[in-house]
Amino acid sequence: MIFALNVLAPPYARQGALTALRFAQAAIHSGHQVNRIFFSGDGVLNGSALGIPPQDEINLYARWQLLAVNHQVELVLCISACLKRGMVNESEQSRYGLKHNNIAEHFIVAGLGQLAESTIVADRILTFG
């Protein structure tokens, strides 16, 4: 089965982001495919390159990136949600004349079309809030 996930939850304020990560890991280890994880709303904060959790907590930022690298899962951040929350990639940094970008490696920034395409390709789409 092919799954697509939509993550609305920020990394540490609620349980949704961790639950989404664990679901993706369990699905992959059970032989299913997770082709894309779309982060929207406060969920885009999972793609921050600047988050540093305490050492005694799970580093969700790093775990998402490991998932992408180890299992070729596409991590997509909603561009409008990113801009509202002060998150920019190199392209938006240049466009707005900013000094820095702050999107973590292995995350891409795209529009809602990516989420729409996920609903077509996947057998199931699950939302974690």
CATH number for the domain whose boundaries are 2-128:
3.40.1260.10
* Amino acid identity, position 10: P
Out of 4, 34, 78, 79, which one is annotated catalytic?
A: 78
pTM flag (> 0.75): yes
pLDDT in tens, the chain (129 residues): 999 999 999 999 999 999 999 999 999 999 999 999 999 999 999 999 999 999 999 999 999 999 999 999 999 999 999 999 999 999 999 999 999 999 999 999 999 999 999 999 999 999 999
Taking the C-alpha atoms of residue 4 and residue 65, their distance in angstroms, rounded to an integer, is: 16
Does the annotation mark 82 as catalytic?
no
